[in-house]
Amino acid sequence: MTEMLTFKRLERTVNLIARHPFYPGKPEAVHDCLDDLEDRYRDGSLTHEQKSILVSLLTTEDANSIEPTESDCYPRHHRSS
């Protein structure tokens, strides 16, 4: 049962990383997370199925993209009154 709780916590963390809006370090964070998942799989703490679920959460391309949007690239200007 402890292994399932650990997986669920890891799944929540991966989801937070995947759903977070773009920021300059996000691609590196995703890469590091993928490396960590591979290490956990190799040492036996994740099954192939669990690893596949987590990797798919991180690599699904939709609104959670790791690429910047146009609005992320340009500084926002505030008007003074």
Residues 6+ apart with CB under 8 A from 72: 21, 22, 23
pTM for this model (two decimals): 0.71
- Amino acid letter, residue 12: R
Q: Domain map of the chain by residue range?
A: 2-62
pLDDT given at position 47: 95
Residuewise pLDDT in 10s, the chain (81 residues): 578 889 999 999 999 999 999 999 999 999 999 999 999 999 999 999 999 999 999 998 544 455 555 554 544 444 554
